Amino acid sequence: MTDMHRLGRLLLAVLFGLAASAAARAAEPKPNIVFIMADDLGFADVGYRGSDIKTPNIDKLAEAGVRMDTFYGEPVCTPSRAALMTGRYPMRYGLQTLVIFPSHTYGLPTDERTLPQALKEAGYTTLMTGKWHLGHADRKYWPQNRGFDYFYGNVMGEVDYFTRDRGGVIDWQRNGTFLKEPGYYMTLIGNDAVRLIGQQDGKQPFFLYFASLAPHAPYQAPQSYKDLYPAIKDRNRQAYAGMISALDDQIGRIVAALQNKHLRDNTLILFASDNGGATSGLFAQGAKSNDERQHEEGGIEQGAKAPASNAPLRGGKGSLYEGGVRVVAFANWPGHLKPGIVTAPLHMVDIMPTLLALAGGTGSADHPMDGRDIWPALTAAAPSPNEDILINVEAFRGAVRKGDWKLVKVALLPGKTELFNLADDPGETTNVADRHPEIAADLEARLSAYAKQQKPSEWIKAQPGFAGAQGHTVFDPDFDIGDGGLPHEKPAPIGR
């Protein structure tokens, strides 16, 4: 038998195995899906990574599930959430740069097919509690108009954890009705998630997107949570730790609610942070404009050190280095996923195609997904299905990974090209571009090819339209923001 015949038989066997696996998955009952998104969680700030922050519920799920230890989000909140919701890189629809500010009127384009839309068409009930951050100024961008049957939470970015205030507007709603209600953010969305799970009868599969605001700035936690960490003397770090414990408690309540309804065995739980933890005050200032009030109410000064740790990775939120984009992530499904660690590079865009393969859903033919089905990597230690991973690309910078190699390119003059071998140098301490020019050239060509496909950044287009760091909060002018308890007065300007 010739080598070509052997190769052909091997390829046929692989294809047959993949087809049989896909057929077996399609024949199984559709799983319930719970996706838990943490916000600005430090790579080192969970218990199973050795942190002094107490996360027993996260640890239990991670250790009994599949840890995705080389999983990438985007540098900041909006792009990462867009990648999750579309399975497509944010540069394809102009959301690659920074986040949607309160004064911005753009959002995730309505021609993008979203994960909840696809799951809903596949027979799922689609539910969301927490932070959206993919468009707020027009109702067409709101979650309940992007595929969710139910939404409870905030549509902008950060808000005050106790009042949900953002620049004079109470950004808190249930299905379009704005609310003023007491309580701590994490407890409220946890209460709602538990209630929603309690309403499920097991006859129709559901998708629950639990989008935590914690531990994003402002660093605010009830005193009882801060009291868990008397040894932490820095008050922002102490509050940050308390916020992570508050998130962990709500995750424990969600798991208990699933068990009480006898739904746990058919529920896939996924957990990921949107980006790395904030290590610079630039990304941790909170929603207040006055520096003194920022310090009192959970924000920090621009030049100060933020409380997160991404050790041993370099950089933090906003950066293209590993600390900004490589995030805590795992999947847990009893009886379907064996405990283990996957080191194959995976990306947030891979979640949507993977879930649709499990659920029997379909994407959009005219908006092809960049992500790939990673189920074989999670169940059979298969290699990453991605030939390369675009970490992000903008007009002025970008990063791409292929295998163990990562290229970071800064296009602003004088410019900089960095190449790292992440297997040997996970901390990205040594630029080896001059030692491996052929690899650097290959990755730069890949990055340039992606760059040529990007749409103009909506953030860059919007910035000249107003003065100030983030400007006035904008909502749909045809929508009376006084309804449901929102203040009628003109919103006050806010800070960064």
Name the residues annotated as catalytic. Answer: 77, 133
CA angle centred on 283, ends 281 and 284, rounded to 5°: 60
For 163, 228, 375, 473, the CA distances from 22, given in Å and listed in that order, are 47, 46, 10, 47
How many whole angstroms separate alpha carbon 494 and alpha carbon 419? 39
For residue 273, the one-letter residue type is S
Cα–Cα nearest to 277, from 223, 217, 226, 221? 217
β partners of residue 271: 36, 330
Residue 123 φ/ψ region, left for φ over 0, alpha for ψ in the -120 to 50 degree band, beta for the rest? left
DSSP string, 328-349: -EEEE-TTTS-SEEE-S-EEGG
Q: Which residues contact 235 (CB under 8 A, 6 or more apart)?
A: none
Put the strands of the sheet holding 346-347 in their side by side order.
326-327, 71-72, 346-347
How many whole angstroms separate alpha carbon 377 and alpha carbon 383? 6
Cα 402 versus chain centre, distance: 22
Tokens of 86: 């579309």
Q: Which residues contact 77 (CB under 8 A, 6 or more apart)?
A: 39, 40, 99, 131, 133, 157, 216, 274, 275
For 22, 44, 53, 131, 220, the CA distances from 252, given in Å and listed in that order, are 32, 20, 16, 19, 21
How many whole angstroms separate alpha carbon 221 and alpha carbon 472? 27
Cα–Cα nearest to 326, from 420, 413, 411? 420
For residue 21, the one-letter residue type is S
Contact indicator for 46, 330 with CB cutoff of 8 Å: no
CA angle centred on 380, ends 377 and 382, rounded to 5°: 45
b/e string for 147-169 if b means 16 or more Cβ within 10 A? Answer: bbbbbbbbbbbbbbbbbbbbbbb
